[in-house]
A and B are shown apart, each in its own frame.
Chain A
């Protein structure tokens, strides 16, 4: 319950916000119109931001709905430096920094014409955090106590504590939803609600049509409050067969392919009308050790609970060679559970070197002696384990073969166990594996590292720390780092935490792929971000002298 003092502390905040109005930058370029066809491999599942993790849904949602604000290109999660307003045109911190008020742009409208109000923000927060909704974002909002609406244009976030990621959580974790369209919907039935297939948002593009397993069409909202997007139509065209998507792009039937697989890059790059656009990635891959017995989580793993053994195995792997073999020049070695694209990336952290001789010596000292055919045993038990790999990932299958050969070089037998992705995820979740080859998409907020590596996440029944790595000191360092408002101090704590993680070797950090998109040359300027490739799509355009037949569709209406 809020105290009168807390409520009164809002008054200056509201007064300031009420006086501020956004001076939006309207684009002065007249190059409006054109159609961009985006080739994707999977259809959307539901266009309902709180519950979808599907990549196509996420992309479409990102253009139909809006966040309150968006981070700058450095994805800096501390405070609000470099952020730009989206649905909000201004914001103001409360005096004690546990409140943050957003002023909603008065020009913002839902695509059905209803003005966007602060009550929509409050409703969205309640929907995301309602346990019946089952949103994967809800745990990331745990530090927000509530949202209040002192007037129709101001939404105030009340935090449980002061921390550097407050702004990130309030402004960027949720896509704001229309209360008037969803208020009567049972949160547990969001996935089957008609809204999920005919969404009404406030973003630069409005929903037009969705033919299941075929196309999703959006059109530019000509009255978008931040200025009309320059491309008139966006069409996601589904082709489950990747090679068909490549042919479509090369034949000119599609304009954009988000990810070109390494073997196709040369061929696609030679296509006259197509350009390749490399962009930073948020993905990284690693081999995770299970430090608990897969058959009985209360017992330590007979192999991987031993820190020295994990370190020896890590030193047996030439990670740079693995990254080079799998991705050629498009891959770099991973340094930890984060990527180059993040603000807190640090390539100077302590990492275990590739030293197979040292690995052999450590294994010898641990009692794992070479036996028949050079394979190591201890008390008659071979040093042998399985690597769980999903069949859906050719990259991970290839990686597993390389790892197997490198382990073999030091007398360790690693068996590759391939399973479909559903089984892989279930066994990861139930921790029924020895090691598994995981590929993770990192989150911009560095505090999310605790979801995968903290003691709490290891011990909780439904925790996300599948390898059961437990180190209270690591947790404390991350907690301290994410509590720092000073960037230099925060980086210093992250450095110590990441170095400690590497010394403990709970996983072998393998690779971080660069991603390459392919786009028709008539589309300009195509600047892509690691967290959302489509973040700047409102500014992409097709010059009138480069337009082709499909760009003329709706052009007359676009020019009005």
Chain B
């Protein structure tokens, strides 16, 4: 097991280095730089931009910049974000908790709802309920995320004014709230963005789960269990569902990077200051240090997600051995 972990870790480090290096060079080879993108006013004298390029070493040869960046990353320092005028670690440190909260809640809701819907559909296969839920999940599955977000925003925040329009807290009252009021305010602001993401993902999970359940329901061991007189509820939950969870576990492993990567459109529409929006803004402002840090983090998570999915497979399916 230890050898396996070390081998996977070694592969992981190599992949992260390759991805980060490719990102570094591709970003630097693209036209523009963070100084031109941030100091984009035509009134800014070119000499001022030259001053900052020199200050941040952007006028040095690319190989020298790469060497400096490698040394810094090896010391755990991702550098300074010029557009944000803060260290990259501080910028990511303020965005990451917001994304974790939003995506964590959305994923839990999505998987819980998706699995439950799949179960209901499988149990009522071919009946109106299955048919209705199938159409509903297909409707949300095929819907663009930004459109759903805008519709929820329009209906629940503007027409009915049930939920706040944007942000992660009430900008006016939040500083004067007590602890529990703050928790409530945060949750209140979480409802629309988390629901948007959960609705979209739950639809996909439900369709996967239904198909997997129906596949498993036709297996011989299900027939055997029923022949032995096992209750239908026990057959469904202990025999069919356990086997039908395997593809969903794969989905869960793939979802882990999303957990920290965030959702660009939903974050933008609800002004949720998370990693997705941060990364897209960094592309626009050519924020090299921030982008490479985001790519490194995303790579680590993809590798970790893949490993966790493998481990969960081994736990759920006795036929699979990690070794």
Contacts and interface: CB of A to CB of B under 8 A. Distances in A.
Interface of A: 35, 37, 45-46, 53, 131, 134-136, 139, 188, 191-192, 196-197, 209, 212-215, 217, 233, 235, 237-241, 243-244, 247-248, 250-251, 253, 392, 419-429, 438-441, 443, 448, 451-452, 462-464, 466, 550, 553
Given A213-B94, A422-B40, A429 B85 contact: no
B131 to A, nearest CB: 36
B85 A196 contact: yes
Interface in B189-221: none
A38 to B, nearest CB: 10
Nearest to A188: B55
A441 B169 CA distance: 34
Given A244-B166, A429-B49, A440-B42, A420 B85 contact: no
Contact of A553 (B167, B168, B173): B173
A53 B168 contact: no
B45 A451 contact: yes
Interface in B204-258: none
Contacts of A35: 172
A428 B172 contact: no
B36 A426 contact: yes
Contacts of A188: 55
A244 B153 contact: yes
B46 A192 contact: no
A503 B92 CA distance: 53
Contacts of B166: 237, 239, 241, 244, 248, 253
B43 A443 contact: yes
3 tightest CB-CB pairs across the interface, nearest first? Answer: A422-B37, A422-B32, A213-B273
A131 B48 CA distance: 9
9 contacts: A37-B172, A134-B48, A136-B43, A192-B80, A192-B86, A217-B171, A237-B167, A244-B271, A438-B42
A441 B41 CA distance: 8
B112 to A, nearest CB: 28
Contacts of A209: 175
Nearest to B82: A191
Contact of A244 (B44, B86, B165): B165
Given A422-B285, A425-B36, A251 B158 contact: yes
A215 B171 contact: yes
Interface string B281-304: 100111000000000000000000
Contact of B273 (A45, A214, A235): A214
Interface of B: 30-34, 36-52, 55, 80, 82-87, 91, 94-95, 150, 153-154, 157-158, 161, 164-169, 171-173, 175-176, 268-271, 273, 277-278, 281, 284-286
Given A53-B43, A440-B43, A136 B48 contact: yes
A425 B285 CA distance: 11
Contact of A192 (B44, B87, B176, B286): B87
Nearest to B169: A214
Nearest to A48: B85
Contacts, number: 159
A560 B82 CA distance: 42
B42 A250 contact: no
Contact of A45 (B44, B85, B171, B284): B85
A464 B45 contact: yes
Given A134-B51, A438-B42, A247 B158 contact: yes
A419 B47 CA distance: 23
A553 B176 contact: yes
A35 B175 CA distance: 14
B31 A423 contact: yes
The winner among B32, B55, B277, B284 for most chain A CB atoms within 10 A is B32
A31 B169 CA distance: 28
A510 to B, nearest CB: 15
Contact of B46 (A247, A423, A429): A429
A425 B91 CA distance: 25
B40 A250 contact: no
A248 B85 CA distance: 28
Contacts of B164: 253
B42 A422 contact: no
A251 B48 contact: no
A240 B85 contact: no
A149 B204 CA distance: 72
Contacts of B34: 422
Contacts of A136: 39, 43-45, 48
B55 A134 contact: yes
Contacts of A196: 85
B271 A241 contact: yes
B172 A235 contact: yes
A45 B38 contact: yes
Nearest to B175: A209
B32 A423 contact: yes
A97 B52 CA distance: 36
Contacts of B86: 192, 197, 212
A20 to B, nearest CB: 35
Contact of B161 (A251, A419, A464): A251
Contacts of A215: 167, 171
Contact of B43 (A191, A441, A466): A441
A199 B286 CA distance: 27
Nearest to B44: A136
Contacts of A135: 48
A5 to B, nearest CB: 36
A241 B276 CA distance: 14
Given A217-B175, A244-B270, A45 B84 contact: yes
A240 B86 CA distance: 19
Contacts of A253: 164-166
A53 B41 contact: yes
A322 B257 CA distance: 47
A411 B224 CA distance: 82
Given A237-B167, A239-B167, A422 B33 contact: yes
Given A215-B167, A248-B166, 14 more contacts: A35-B172, A37-B172, A139-B45, A213-B273, A243-B150, A247-B153, A248-B165, A392-B284, A420-B37, A422-B32, A422-B34, A425-B40, A425-B42, A462-B47
The winner among B40, B82, B268 for most chain A CB atoms within 10 A is B40
Given A251-B165, A440-B43, A443-B43, A238 B271 contact: yes
A526 B2 CA distance: 69
A462 B268 contact: no
Contacts of A429: 36, 46, 49
B172 A240 contact: no
A432 to B, nearest CB: 9
Contacts of A197: 86
A428 B42 CA distance: 9
A456 to B, nearest CB: 12
B318 to A, nearest CB: 47
Contacts of B277: 240
Contact of B31 (A426, A452, A463): A426
Contacts of B36: 422-423, 425-426, 429
